[in-house]
Chains A and B, each alone.
Chain A
Amino acid sequence: MDYETVIGLEIHAELNTLSKMFCGCSTEFGGQPNSKTCPVCLGHPGSLPVTNATAISNTIMLALALNCEITPRSIFHRKNYFYPDMPKNFQISQYDIPLSKGGFLEVDMGDHMRMVGITRVHIEEDTGKSIHIGESGRIHGADYSLEDFNRAGIPLAEIVTEPDIKSPEEARAFVQLLRATLEYLGISDCKMEEGSLRCDANISVSSDGKRGTKVEVKNMNSFRALQRALAYEEERHRFMLEQGREITQETRHWDDAGGVTQPLRSKEEAFDYRYFPEPDLVPMEPDPAMIQELRGGLPELPQERRMRFESEYGLSNDIAIMLTGEKALADYYERAVATGQDPGELAKWIAGDLVAMLKDSVVPIQSCPVHPRGIGELVALVAQKIISGKMAKDVLREAFETGKAPGDIVSDKGLSQMTDERELEAVVGQVIEENPDASRDLRDGKEQALKFLMGQVMKKTHGKANPGIAADILRKKLS
């Protein structure tokens, strides 16, 4: 049988506006529970919503970055349902006339491109946070629940994709690119682990062209979890199809520890939200001039930057994707490029050793102890043959651990390479004298001897001999 995976995603991104979507409360993360609330976001009797204009313009920017059409006149709808984290027991959201629709985002998978359609981008308000105290930690069977409404009313941009994604890897890459886009626009903290970026997926597997049953998957709290969960589901569907068993249309919950999805006893089983237009808010009719201004003011987006890195700096696709995946990293790289050193070399050091060190010590690029100039220094030192590539690795490590400039480290420790030919001639001469057998072997054409003799040279010079020059001298003397 010929299986084809079909995936669609629904992503919620918390916007980082200063105040909430419909009231003036602060959106700052943390603080005592229920310390950032007011009659509006607590749903007190008589309170009314007032739209946060910045949240709207930020969402329009996102829609434009995703190549969407901005709806000339869109409205808010009430989505009605009861839950203890809902202050009004309805959510102000958008329904059939959203802020924007009909866009796309193209994802570079390395060996192929994936064009993902964006069905819509709209705006809504977030709910409060529940902590259910009981055996399972879920609402069913809980002894009691604690509700924190600090989060209630925070603006959320909702992005819905067409079912154009064809693999778990593509899903991950898409969300990573979307996250980068949000970061580049500066409109969201977009941290999956903190909940400012949330992703739900719909997945089905068609067999021999026949459309499969759609299953919704929730509770994927990292890029890795997203990929793993979808890979598991894909496999589960294929297995069921192979067995000729029916797949139930349902919502499933990803259990990261167990590595499986479980059916969710959903609070929203076949739920009727009784949507109707929000009577407390007027329609949104964004000024075309304002939209034009936002369009013109869009920063360079991740894909654009990636392509520029490839063409302007001659970087490979892999390294360009890695460096532009996070705006702060791309910014760091370009500050290093400004030192005038070779962009390719700089990219290698940053995308390789530096990123690995940052990851190991769990330090974000914004707090990197090595200044971009320092990387430039490092590359210059190697280019001028003052230190070897191998030594440079150690220098970088020390720079990372101490915060000292590479140049200072090299001079303080007297690490400069020996490049003087006469000095090296003398050393090489000694080594040849002390190792007659190996020297004879090299003269006879046995290449392994070179390695041994080079090792001796390095030993004598405490690793400082410039390997290229030393090898040349060895060959000349033993030819």
Chain B
Amino acid sequence: MSIIHEDALQIASAIKRRELSSIEVVEAFLDRIEKVEPEVKAYINVAADTARKRAAHLDRMIADGEDAGALAGVPIAIKDVLSTRGFPTTCGSRMLEDFVPVYDATAVDRVYRAGTVMLGKANMDEFAMGSSTENSYFGPTVNPWDLDRVPGGSSGGSAAAVAAGEAPWALGSDTGGSIRQPASLCGIVGMKPTYGLVSRYGLVAFASSLDQVGPMTRNVRDCAALLGVIAGHDPLDSTSIQGEVPDYHAGLNGDVKGLKAGVVRELSSKGIEPAVKALFDQTLSKLEEAGVACEEISLPSFEYALSAYYLIAPAEASSNLARFDGVRYGFRSPEEVDDVWEMYDRSRSEGFGGEVKRRIMLGTYALSAGYYDAYYAQAQKIRTLVVRDYARAWEKFDILVSPTSPSTAFRLGEKVDDPMTMYLSDICTIPVNLAGIPALSLPCGLADGLPAGFQVMGPPLGEMKLLNVAYALEQEIGFKQRPGL
């Protein structure tokens, strides 16, 4: 099998066994990128030179018998929302088109220390706001399974890169489904950890109480390994959880007999495309075959989760994105201005895209005097109800399941002019972020020729259970297809 289609962990062992050198691996991926990028456009900036230099450095270390890290020499794509020192970090926006950070995000630092090689920064919806990667200032990424369709978003570039063999794995970020939904649409594994498990230091903030960094991989084993590298307390992030992190990779045994899965009624019927629903039901049977009993559960607050999210997230975003004003860094309008207020207006109007501006306005409104109680405060109360519904569910069930996305990949341009329809893409994934629990999307087959994902949700810090269920199910499903690209 070609290097570019190997699992990340297999590449890691091959390098350790000196069957492959890091530079060979990196060149293989850079070749692939050169070949398919003109069509896929998964990357905003490819780090060819840096990657080669680093690979050479790692090869030297390995030759000298030095410890180059558990994942020495394995390439990785990093969503352009994560700060990379000395290398542009654009967040898919004109606002940061030429911005080069002075520090690495903690998650980035940790994957570097494990020995990985950054291939480049992956495309995304601007400032992580979107479900199709069509909101990128640099143009959309396309779905490797069908070049007329979207890869999902906002981590569309990361998902497409992994699916198209342009990286063995990637880091993405998830605020309302931005890892899981593109993973589902591109037929790969994507996981959002428990809020606070992975440091947000260096993750350009969209919605601070919802954002998380997570792995996007070809299989569950790789996912467990990558999660293990980035998870764990960070003193630079005050919302980071203390305590020991289990060895997710070592703990993978697929031992799931006797577990109980709740099928969330509110996420698994209304609005789900028939082909997706059919595939979902089939997967439920496979889950039962693996020894997990499935039963329906109703979580009524989920009806309002989407609305609550589309008040809380934009509200926090309106504040988080206030720093982009052209004063200290980033885009400053070249137009002549009379005063600083005009400079703010122009820089922000010209620097931000339409969806970002829409959400900033929405969020500002929801927080404003006279409306705070009716909108933001009210949305937070619904959030509490969502948390309680989940807590109730964990009394009876080990995990909860639903389809990841109500549809397979839709066509480019199909929903981008109708924000409300676009927002509905996140209906299955959003409650997870509101409650801060972990969830994973596993490819469960093709529906009308396009990938669909099966979402597994777990209790807070229930990653091990989640990964094991996914692992067991992965064997049962046996999904091995790749896009024909």
Contact = CB atoms under 8 A, between A and B. Distances in A.
Nearest to A267: B341
B367 A274 contact: yes
Nearest to B343: A84
Interface string B257-286: 000000000000000000000000000000
A282 B238 contact: yes
Contact of A46 (B205, B339, B368): B205
Given A42-B328, A89-B323, A142 B339 contact: yes
B101 A44 contact: yes
Interface stretch (A47-55, A60-68, A111-119): A47-55
Contacts of A51: 238
Contacts of A237: none
Contacts of A84: 327, 340
A80 B96 contact: no
A48 B200 contact: yes
Interface stretch (B215-223, B287-295, B314-322, B404-412): B314-322
B372 A46 contact: no
A420 to B, nearest CB: 78
Interface in B348-376: 364, 367-369, 372, 376
Contacts of A280: 205, 208, 238-239
Residue among A45, A142, A147, A281 facing the most chain B CB atoms (10 A cut-off):
A45
Nearest to A39: B103
A236 B82 CA distance: 57
B237 interface: yes
A87 B323 contact: yes
B245 interface: no
B89 A45 contact: yes
A48 B236 contact: yes
A366 to B, nearest CB: 38
A82 interface: yes
B344 interface: yes
Residue among B99, B322, B372, B376 facing the most chain A CB atoms (10 A cut-off):
B322
A450 B471 CA distance: 115
B200 A88 contact: no
A140 interface: yes
Residue among A90, A147, A149, A279 facing the most chain B CB atoms (10 A cut-off):
A279
B115 interface: no
Binding site of A, secondary structure by majority: helix, strand, loop or mixed? loop
A46 B329 contact: no
Interface in A260-306: 272, 274-276, 279-282
A48 B237 contact: yes
A149 B329 CA distance: 14
B201 to A, nearest CB: 5
A89 B315 contact: no
B209 A46 contact: no
B250 interface: no
Contacts of A48: 200-201, 236-238
A42 B319 CA distance: 15
Q: On chain A, which size bracket covers the interface?
A: 20 to 34
Binding site of B, secondary structure by majority: helix, strand, loop or mixed? loop
Contacts of B341: 82
A44 B316 contact: no
B226 interface: no
Interface in B26-61: none
Interface in B302-353: 315-316, 318-319, 322-325, 327-329, 339-341, 344
Contacts of B167: none
Nearest to A76: B238
Interface string A24-64: 00000000000000010011111111110000000000000
Contacts of B123: none
Contact of B322 (A47, A82, A147): A82
Contacts of A185: none
A81 B256 CA distance: 52
Given A139-B340, A145-B340, A274-B364, A45 B204 contact: yes
A45 B96 contact: yes
A78 interface: yes
B319 to A, nearest CB: 5
A51 B364 CA distance: 26
A51 B200 CA distance: 16
Given A139-B340, A147-B327, A276 B319 contact: yes
B236 A46 contact: no
Given A279-B208, A282-B238, A282-B239, A45 B367 contact: no
B420 interface: no
A428 to B, nearest CB: 83
B344 A82 contact: yes
B212 to A, nearest CB: 13
Interface string B73-103: 0000000001100000101000010010111
Contacts of B235: 50
Given A274-B372, A280-B208, A45 B339 contact: no
16 contacts: A39-B102, A45-B89, A45-B96, A45-B99, A46-B101, A46-B203, A47-B202, A80-B319, A80-B322, A82-B344, A84-B327, A139-B339, A274-B364, A275-B372, A276-B316, A276-B367
Q: Nearest 9 pairs between A and B by C-beta?
A: A89-B322, A279-B208, A274-B367, A279-B209, A45-B204, A46-B202, A46-B83, A272-B369, A43-B323
Given A46-B204, A48-B200, A276-B367, 10 more contacts: A39-B101, A43-B328, A44-B329, A48-B236, A50-B237, A80-B322, A82-B322, A89-B322, A274-B364, A279-B316
Interface of A: 39, 42-51, 78, 80, 82, 84, 87-90, 139-142, 145, 147, 149, 272, 274-276, 279-282
Interface of B: 82-83, 89, 91, 96, 99, 101-103, 105, 200-205, 208-209, 235-239, 315-316, 318-319, 322-325, 327-329, 339-341, 344, 364, 367-369, 372, 376
